[in-house]
Structure 1
Amino acid sequence: MDTEYRTDNAMDIEKKKIVIEFNVEMETKDGQILRANVYRPDDEEAHPTILIREPYSKDLRPDWGFMSPHLYAREGFAVVLQDVRGSGVSDGTPVFDPGETEDGLETIDWVAKQPWCNGKISMIGLSYYGGTQIQVAQRRPEHLVACAPFMPMGYYFRHSIQLTAPKWFYTQFISAMRLGKFPYDKELLQKMDALMSDSSVVYDLPEYDSRLLTGLPEIPNIEKEGRERIDNLNNAPFWHKNGWEVDVENFDVPCLFGTGWYDGAKPYTLELYGRAKKAKSEKTRENARLIVGPWCHGFTMTRRLNGVDFGPFASWDMFGLYEKVRDWNLHWATGADTPYMHEAPVQTFLMGANEWRGYSEWPPKEAKIVPYYIGSDGHANSRMGDGTLSLTPCGTAESDTYDYDPLDPTPGNEMLHFIEKDEEREDTLVYTTPALTEPVNVTGMVTMKLFAKTDARDTDFFCRIADVFPDGRTLFLASGLVRARYRLAERQPNFIEPGAVYEYEINLSGISNLFLTGHSIRVDICSSSFPEYDRNHNTTDLIGKGIDTVVAHQTILHSAEYPSRILLPVIKAE
């Protein structure tokens, strides 16, 4: 590795007495009052300041981990924990991610003028908190010296064509309830959980008329926003005008990005890091950093995820995440020579080996792309089939076939789980290597090159990679999909000709997994992962509008002329 991973994060920092001011008011240009809790050392000095813009009510959020205002204040920072517009005790109507830009810029200017702030402001936080950072960073505010966006929300176009409508409304309702705009209603949440598990709700068409909306209180802007995105899928000016796409190349601030291998925001986070490394500003390009742990989305950064134990150093506290983020902010606010700034700029958790690895960049330059070819004797359907995955093309057949019925979609989700039950369906093609005779370290970005044809005008192809244990358990690692109409460009539908062969490139994003001796590498091909992703109706109807469905007869080719293969970034053992 380029740089050894360091565990020594200790710094001799004097712990200070702190004061907390509640509901400190800031008036926006349009007359709305945003309220914040301010945590700071109990003195009359000006301090570097951390801004956390809070979407879920500042008075309800636990004092957690690397976002703990108490810890930062005790170590010499002032911390502003602000309820965003329409949340908690702040005035106004929720505006959601792109609409946070102006409020964020005004807040930074306001904070910089306070007597307890020295004019050096950094921002931290994950998920929605991360989105508030990247929204303002593209505008280059004068006093913003560093950002630490973990698991930031984004990919709005892709989410709009992929996430199911019931799931969208359900998750947004939960968020709105936490925003404090109406009381927590346990009975109503139980009702919604029951509806979500009722196939007659999730599978009914059209999805946007879901009964999930029945009896819910009005949620300002949420339904309007969701419908506008669906209505404008192919309207490029809509996405630019409304700020749904972030201009990372215009950043002029160092960014420490963070995500998890099972985080739904992982693809976007890795993309943001890659774009930051190409930014116009040298400050952004040369100082972009990345941390990826074995975590899912949110605050659950523990050693265990869905029953899988990744060892003690997988957890945020043993990894020293707070100390790293603190060191990051301290360095950019004061110029201090902190321990984290001497560590590898990219730190990722290698599953299987269950240890952290350090690199100079992502994807790691040590990784070499190795193609693994899918093949069969004509029946790769299900894990009981004859599908193979190998370094050289093999198998007697040139293709495999399956039917994809939108009314009986292949199930799936993006969380860490064992998927062998999902692989028992005939509409899932399964390709597996023989048991490995030596470990294989796959670390980097994974891409599937798939040759396929169908008798439909539009369809989806979904690919996932998994680690097969010697006892047959199959651990999901990563996945990706391509919607045929958007295979060439987003927002520019280009329907396919039935029966024609197309080459599809499916991005499975990043992984870091050591496939151990005796394990196998597995690739699955199907046409849905429902209800995690919206099913394709196999028609040319507008997404979210049509109610007609067509059964698509899919052919996956793996011949000399059409060598379907997955490209794995392999790091050779030292």
Structure 2
Amino acid sequence: MKKSFLILVLFAISLTSFAQELPFIQVKLSDSIALANQMQQLAIQCDTQNLSAIDQFKFQLIRGEYKDALASIKKRIEETPRDQSQYLDVYKHYVEAKLSANFKDTFTKAYNKYVKNADDIQVINLDKFLIVRDPTDYYVSNFNNSYSNIKSEKISQPTAIDLVKKYFLKTVFSETRAIYFNEIKQDHKRRYVVNDSIVIPMKDGAEVSIVVIQRKGHATPKKSTILVSSIYAGTNEVSAMLAASKGYNGVISNTRGKRLSKSNIKPLEYEHTDVYEVIDWISKQSWSNQKVAMYGGSYNGFTQWASMKHKVHPALKTIVPMVAVAPGIDYPMENNILHNYSYSWNFYVTNNKFLDFEASQDFNRWNTLKNTWYETGVAFNKLDSLDGQVNTLWSTYIQHPSYDDYWKKMIPYKQEFAKIDIPILTITGYYDDSQRGAMYYFNEHHKYATNPNHYLLVGPYDHWTAQTKPEESLRNYKLDNAALLNIEENVIYEWFDYVLNAKEKPSILKDKVNFQVMDTNTWMHKPSLGAMTNDTLIFHLSADKTNEFYVLKSKPNNSEIQMSVDFKDRESMSNSEYYPWPLERDQINLNDGLIFKSETLKENVIINGSFFGKLELAINKKDVDYSVIVYQLTPEGKYFHLSYFIGRASFAKDREQRNLLTPNAFTQIPFDNSKLISKKIEKGSRIVVVINVNKNNNAQLNYGTGKEVNEETIKDAEIPLKIIFKGNSSIALPIWNLEGNKF
């Protein structure tokens, strides 16, 4: 009894302490001494007993408790895998330097020794984390903004703790960046021969800038070459260094107009000829054995397919496109809906010969732009007018809302896939933004080529981790250990060794389609996408309701479910939660769209593949942009985001030709281009389906007039959109039924 009472007293004291406000008087951010003193005092006053070990370390450092901080960070490094300690090692050297009489000299010598003792892969990862993805400017601005936004003379404990942690990041990285940048770059010169001054002419007179990297000490005169073709000039050298460290020539070619090229910058448009000519140039060099392989993700995945548009160069032996963008298919629009992300991307890649990070990270500009556009209701093609900037690429994109010749000229089209006869490894993720692009290439290749030598590797990865190495968790979901592949450093180079050097095929590729089944710690391997499933769960919409949910039924019915959307209303948005982040949540917005729920599943199943279906509907207009989201409602009451589809009704049957709907006439809208996934759904779960109309500030607004969507404005929204869904509408989930079946 006494012990329980004591615990309650201590708990009350803890709450009182946590709720206590701390005095705060702003100093000038330029006054580094006054700012450091203030942050030290805040760190001393903060209640940190419930913070994580790494946050405890941060407070020890800011308080000036350097010996304790050093002990803490050494312990953390011992507990962390070597390939995940790049930041932690900076922290350790920083603390050690703080304990010395000469901070800069001590940190420089220690980091120099650290880099020299590291192997090639370690230093490449240092470059990736600390230089290519340099976080310093963000940390500085994040602290400065948070600090400047405090207007009161007292702040809460949570605010103070947040401020100290941000100050830690700003301080450590801004004081060390110049040093570790220099040490890493100097070490590259020790390990590699880098020729970054090559410019080669294209047949039409344009120029392409080339970087060739070779490992010092590797004496073989002629080697196979790993090529990365990229618009992201200045960020891919580590990819070439990795190739060189693995025993290959590493080559980077940049989109015409980038780096040293004097041509005009033309994203997407010329890769179908330029990359082929770069491969031809490589094959004729004295250091080439006439074997070229390509890999890379996103835009760098697209360039690999583009190189084979007209024919496959004889020297190109294999490609590994990861999360590959397919122009006109999933970028800049998805299922013919143009998203506004591409608006800012254009400035990022075309403002200069390298990359304009300042423009791309001007989040205030982009948020203000999309919010202003949404609130004012002006036409989508007026974004550049609102922005006050000329956006030539954007103006071009909006002139091609269908999959027309502008897009078709960039990558293989239909029968052009038939001639692609080299081994290919496609890699993507269930939560990859470009999964539909990657799968478009995979599906079209299998559709038109006879028995293509094309493998697929897909797991619970996003756009970044499917190109590199997944972390333990993705958007709050803890991955199975089986999913934690080192994709870039191991799987890809095992594949290159297999194709180029006749070594063993990567062990993970046991069949043509290889996918990790979430929540089973297991991979499945099948000869085709069709073989992923042995059954289908089919649900039909109905007007019956249980509490706030409509009911999903197993059979078609005579229900009619009505929905209305007022596009004049700019106080709210709809379909704003279709993007899966986080993957698992306690609740979803039950007022956003029509929410349908199934009965509980009686057996465990695995959802394998892309859900599909048809919506039988009538609208009072000529078109609508709609979405379908599928969740698993777990037995514990959690909503797990499985997959989604977003599309334009008028392009549902043909992405190349718009077919408007007849107002108030029922029609069937089929869809089958949703995100592929594999996940165990345990018995007792329910399937939740959200049907919605797209009305938010992230993409075009389709008012349904039948005019070009980019030209429609809020003036076209006088009459609300009204939809009637019939109970014949269906959602089909492809599954692997576990009863009596093995993986």
Q: TM-score range by the shorter chain?
A: 0.7 to 0.9
Q: Give CA-to-partner distance per residue, 1:194-241, whole Å, 9 cap, x none.
A: 41563555663212222686355x6xxxx3333223223358444445
Over 3 Å counting, the alpha-carbon distance change for 1:203 and 1:331 in structure 2 is farther
Match of 1:230 among 393, 398, 410: 398
Look up the equivalent residue of 1:371 and give its one-letter code. Answer: I
- TM-superposed deviation, 1:94: 2.0
The equivalent of 2:704 in structure 1 is: 538
Q: Which runs of 5+ in 2 are unaligned?
A: 1-119, 122-189
- TM-superposed deviation, 1:286: 3.5
- TM-superposed deviation, 1:169: 0.9
TM-score normalized with structure 2 length? 0.66
The equivalent of 1:464 in structure 2 is: 629
- TM-superposed deviation, 1:362: 1.5
Distance 1:187 1:228 in 2: 20
The equivalent of 1:49 in structure 2 is: 225
The equivalent of 1:335 in structure 2 is: 502
- Flag the structure with higher helix content: 2
Aligned positions of 1:67-216 closer than 5 A: 68-138=239-309, 139-156=311-328, 159-160=332-333, 162-164=336-338, 166-176=340-350, 180=354, 184-185=357-358, 189-196=362-369, 198=371, 201=374, 204-210=377-383, 214=387, 216=389
Q: Are the counterparts in 1 of residues 604 and 681 from structure 2 also a CA contact under 8 Å?
A: yes
Match of 1:435 among 570, 585, 600: 600
- TM-superposed deviation, 1:108: 0.3
**Greater Cα offset, 86-95 or 334-343:** 334-343
Say yes or no: does 1:32 pair with 2:32.
no
Q: Percent identity?
A: 18
- TM-superposed deviation, 1:163: 4.6
Distance 1:496 1:477 in 2: 30
Distance 2:302 2:448 in 1: 18
Q: Give CA-to-partner distance per residue, 1:302-354, whole Å, 9 cap, x none.
A: 3322222113333342xx55322112222222333334486232211222335
- TM-superposed deviation, 1:441: 0.8
Secondary structure of the residue that 1:434 maps to in structure 2? coil
Q: Give CA-to-partner distance per residue, 1:132-176, whole Å, 9 cap, x none.
A: 100012321111000001111115156447454643212333344
Look up the equivalent residue of 1:140 and give its one-letter code. Answer: V
- TM-superposed deviation, 1:458: 1.4
Secondary structure of the residue that 1:198 maps to in structure 2? helix
Q: Give CA-to-partner distance per residue, 1:424-445, whole Å, 9 cap, x none.
A: 22x5111112233322211022
RMSD of aligned alpha carbons: 3.1
Q: Are the counterparts in 2 of residues 437 and 517 from structure 1 also a CA contact under 8 Å?
A: yes
TM-score normalized with structure 1 length? 0.84
Secondary structure of the residue that 1:479 maps to in structure 2? strand
Look up the equivalent residue of 1:167 and give its one-letter code. Answer: Y
The equivalent of 1:451 in structure 2 is: 616
Q: Are the counterparts in 1 of residues 578 and 644 from structure 2 also a CA contact under 8 Å?
A: no
- Flag the structure with higher strand content: 1
The equivalent of 2:724 in structure 1 is: 555
The equivalent of 2:151 in structure 1 is: none
- TM-superposed deviation, 1:463: 1.1
Q: Which runs of 5+ in 1 are unaligned?
A: 1-14
Distance 2:488 2:630 in 1: 28
Distance 1:299 1:403 in 2: 39
Say yes or no: does 1:497 pair with 2:662.
yes
Q: Give CA-to-partner distance per residue, 1:483-528, whole Å, 9 cap, x none.
A: 2222332232222222211111122242212112332111111111
The equivalent of 1:10 in structure 2 is: none
Distance 2:604 2:206 in 1: 61
Q: Give CA-to-partner distance per residue, 1:35-62, whole Å, 9 cap, x none.
A: 313234631421111101132123x347
- TM-superposed deviation, 1:270: 1.5
Over 3 Å counting, the alpha-carbon distance change for 1:236 and 1:56 in structure 2 is closer
Look up the equivalent residue of 2:279 and give its one-letter code. Answer: I
- TM-superposed deviation, 1:267: 1.6
Distance 1:340 1:291 in 2: 12
Q: Are the counterparts in 2 of residues 412 and 531 from structure 1 also a CA contact under 8 Å?
A: no
- TM-superposed deviation, 1:186: 6.8
Q: Are the counterparts in 1 of residues 306 and 410 from structure 2 also a CA contact under 8 Å?
A: no
Look up the equivalent residue of 1:27 and give its one-letter code. Answer: I
Distance 2:427 2:695 in 1: 26
Distance 1:27 1:167 in 2: 32
Structure number with larger C-alpha Rg? 2
The equivalent of 1:358 in structure 2 is: 525
The equivalent of 2:689 in structure 1 is: 523
Q: Which has the higher contact order (CA 8 A, sep 6+)?
A: 1
Q: Give CA-to-partner distance per residue, 1:94-119, whole Å, 9 cap, x none.
A: 22123112221111011111122110
The equivalent of 2:534 in structure 1 is: 367
Distance 1:203 1:39 in 2: 55
Distance 1:167 1:129 in 2: 18
Distance 2:361 2:460 in 1: 33
Over 3 Å counting, the alpha-carbon distance change for 1:321 and 1:529 in structure 2 is farther
**Greater Cα offset, 244-253 or 467-476:** 244-253
Look up the equivalent residue of 1:292 and give its one-letter code. Answer: V
Distance 1:54 1:31 in 2: 16
Secondary structure of the residue that 2:270 maps to in structure 1? helix
Match of 1:391 among 510, 531, 554: 554
Distance 2:657 2:286 in 1: 51
Distance 1:504 1:462 in 2: 12
Corresponding residue pairs, total: 534
